[in-house]
Copies of this chain bind each other. A is one copy, B any other.
């Protein structure tokens, strides 16, 4: 089954193309046939890669038995869109086969009123498992928790455990450990399957259970959960509520989604975008989201321009300044965003703190000075030749060095300062940085020019 992923992509695009043609010609039967031959994850890929108009049609053609699994695999934005247009009955049916955390993810996108209705219509068992975790925010350990755990008591022998397991048709996905609890459901420890399979069956669970790993508190932030999984190479981990009672477990597949989202966040935020953004969102949805970001940038651009307008008399005298000034600003912006990106990534990896920020800042400033001087010499020579004027060479060179050092300082300090102000550095860092490098770049270059030519 695993073809090369390249082929998977290739075949998804062929399918998208074929589905478009079939839908346009109204041949729904063939599309339905094609969909029924795909696994839920493949159907979700197909929907996510299709333009919005086809999506609703595709959704209606999916076999009802797999629609819950398809929904669960869809990106958040598209999931919301479908979920908000569903009736209570359809929602109940859809969530029946799903894992608890997926049911909760879906419910949390609905208005309070609808959640109540759906939960009332659920079976008692389903309602009970959902009630346990729905109180937790989706960005916490609780929001990632599945209730499908297998628990054992410490006094059991491994032989009893083995016979107990044989009464199950299968183990829940990603089960690498059974969870040891007492009669009151307090978390006690883990019994790894590896231990169960390699130890003498007459031994009791208490004798071999692993107790050096605490359970994850349900309120822990999901990105902290991801860090723990990465550091310990966990496959699954138990989750407890405030009273230390077992709530369920988190599995690596859900943690991988957290890691990917978190990594996407920095990339998307730096362009003022949301990591949940649907690649094929409609123009109507996209326009207002992008407009805000453009508006913020317009304000900063006007700010930079007003610095230029302070020096309009000088530019009137020496028009070469207008030609060269974007170079100073642009080089500052590029150097600054290199520093900014390194610092934002370092912060996301938890590497940067008070103990090493000073060293980092000094390194960035040294890099800024050396590269500033290097390119100032090159650009100074070019400017002197271009405009046959040695004075302009000194001015642009000095302005470039000043702006490279400014860029190093701003790139390193802005994200730290923004974080302290509880503003997301990935979102606000880029726009504040270029404002600083534009303003300082124009001011240094045109200010020096006014002094020497004025």
Map CB proximity to B onto A232-268 as digits: 1 under 8 Å, 0 otherwise: 1101010000000000000011001001100110111
Given the interface contacts A166-B200, A327-B301, A327-B305, does A49 sit within 8 Å of B356 by beta carbon?
yes
Binding-face segment, A83-91, A104-112, A116-124, A375-383: A375-383
Contact of A338 (CB < 8 Å), options: B260, B273, B438: B273
Residues A294 and B371 in contact, CB atoms below 8 Å apart = yes
* Nearest CB in chain B: distance from A79 CB, A: 15
* Nearest CB in chain B: distance from A122 CB, A: 25
Query: Does A228 lie at the interface of the complex (its beta carbon under 8 Å from any beta carbon of B)?
Result: yes
- A290, B404: Cα distance in complex, Å: 12
* Nearest CB in chain B: distance from A454 CB, A: 15
Given the interface contacts A298-B378, A308-B326, A350-B5, does A271 sit within 8 Å of B341 by beta carbon?
yes
Number of A residues whose C-beta is below 8 Å from B? 141
- A272, B371: Cα distance in complex, Å: 15
Q: Which of A84-103 contact B (CB under 8 A)?
A: none
* Nearest CB in chain B: distance from A253 CB, A: 4
* Nearest CB in chain B: distance from A235 CB, A: 6
Residues A308 and B322 in contact, CB atoms below 8 Å apart = yes
Q: Which residues of B sit under 8 angstroms from A378, Cβ to Cβ? A: 295, 298
Given the interface contacts A2-B228, A360-B280, does A345 sit within 8 Å of B267 by beta carbon?
yes
Query: Does A170 lie at the interface of the complex (its beta carbon under 8 Å from any beta carbon of B)?
Result: yes
Q: Which B residue sits closest to A330, measured CB to CB?
A: B301
- A268, B48: Cα distance in complex, Å: 26
Q: Which residues of B sit under 8 angstroms from A206, Cβ to Cβ? A: none
Contact of A367 (CB < 8 Å), options: B162, B283, B324: B283
Given the interface contacts A2-B228, A49-B353, A194-B170, does A252 sit within 8 Å of B235 by beta carbon?
yes
Q: Which residues of B sit under 8 angstroms from A273, Cβ to Cβ? A: 338, 341-342
Residues A363 and B283 in contact, CB atoms below 8 Å apart = yes
Residues A360 and B279 in contact, CB atoms below 8 Å apart = yes
Q: Which residues of B sit under 8 angstroms from A321, Cβ to Cβ? A: 322
Query: Does A173 lie at the interface of the complex (its beta carbon under 8 Å from any beta carbon of B)?
Result: yes
- A214, B7: Cα distance in complex, Å: 15
Q: Which of A192-225 contact B (CB under 8 A)?
A: 193-200, 212-214, 216-217, 220-221, 223-225
Contact of A174 (CB < 8 Å), options: B17, B233, B337, B341: B233
Q: Which B residue sits closest to A442, measured CB to CB?
A: B326
Q: Which of A1-53 contact B (CB under 8 A)?
A: 1-2, 4-6, 8-10, 12-14, 16-17, 20, 41, 45, 48-51
Residues B298 and A327 in contact, CB atoms below 8 Å apart = yes
- A224, B2: Cα distance in complex, Å: 10
Residues B267 and A270 in contact, CB atoms below 8 Å apart = yes
Contact of A197 (CB < 8 Å), options: B20, B165, B266: B165
Residues B264 and A264 in contact, CB atoms below 8 Å apart = no
Q: Which B residue sits closest to A271, measured CB to CB?
A: B341
Q: Which residues of B sit under 8 angstroms from A173, Cβ to Cβ? A: 233
- A265, B116: Cα distance in complex, Å: 43
Contact of A171 (CB < 8 Å), options: B16, B175, B194, B293: B194
- Of the listed residues A224, A293, A320, the one surrounded by the most CB atoms of chain B closer than 10 A to its CB is A224
Contact of A323 (CB < 8 Å), options: B259, B305, B327: B305
Given the interface contacts A13-B355, A174-B233, A267-B267, does A214 sit within 8 Å of B2 by beta carbon?
yes
Q: Which of A312-327 contact B (CB under 8 A)?
A: 312, 315-316, 319-327
- A407, B37: Cα distance in complex, Å: 40
- A91, B204: Cα distance in complex, Å: 42
Q: Which of A145-165 contact B (CB under 8 A)?
A: 162, 165
- Of the listed residues A305, A329, A382, the one surrounded by the most CB atoms of chain B closer than 10 A to its CB is A305
9 contacts between A and B (CB under 8 A): A2-B214, A5-B350, A16-B353, A176-B235, A197-B197, A233-B253, A256-B259, A270-B270, A315-B322
Nearest 7 CB-CB pairings of A with B: A263-B263, A5-B224, A13-B353, A17-B355, A322-B322, A271-B341, A279-B346
